[in-house]
Structure 1
């Protein structure tokens, strides 16, 4: 992991996406800015997965095999011990802002995204 003075201590980011290329790319970017990353292609036992890793930030895709990103985000936001964790909804849907709002996400990022834009969005929530 790269030592990045802008992030004190390793921030933990959990990415939920069923696209392995996206998971790989995002993990690489986040590692470069000093984050510890966990990924999951599924929302199975979402609350347990999030509780066990205890992330500082969650990136949530819309299309996931077990339950939608909307349902998964709503479960996180309804859980008293998890609801303070910021969730960035990220998807290629054209109506991403509406989906993020429905999901109760803290923010959203449209795919495909610019790498600098991605880093800025993440840093906004973990710096």
Structure 2
């Protein structure tokens, strides 16, 4: 999915639509149960860090021995971070809160990647 997000095939309209859809999902789920600010900022941080790991991975020379480590880090870090957050969530409405956590991490990734790749004025 990240390969498509960072490719030329993913247009600005598709990225904007994805951000709007994620915000709508977060709004709908927050009507059921709100995610605490601590979990929200942690999830946004996971998305931002995922973007910077991906950005660093793209800049590494293909023959560099550290490239495989960044590929593993790019795959493992977001999954492990979200699993840890989901395990720490309160027991009430855990599925709703887990979906919000996933949505906030995606939103963090989307917003930072769109901002960094915007056209300079």
Compare relative contact order (CA 8 Å, sep 6+) and give the higher one, 1 or 2: 2
**TM-score normalised to structure 2 length:** 0.28
Larger % of strand: which?
1
More helix by share: 2
Compare CA radii of gyration and give the structure with the larger one: 2
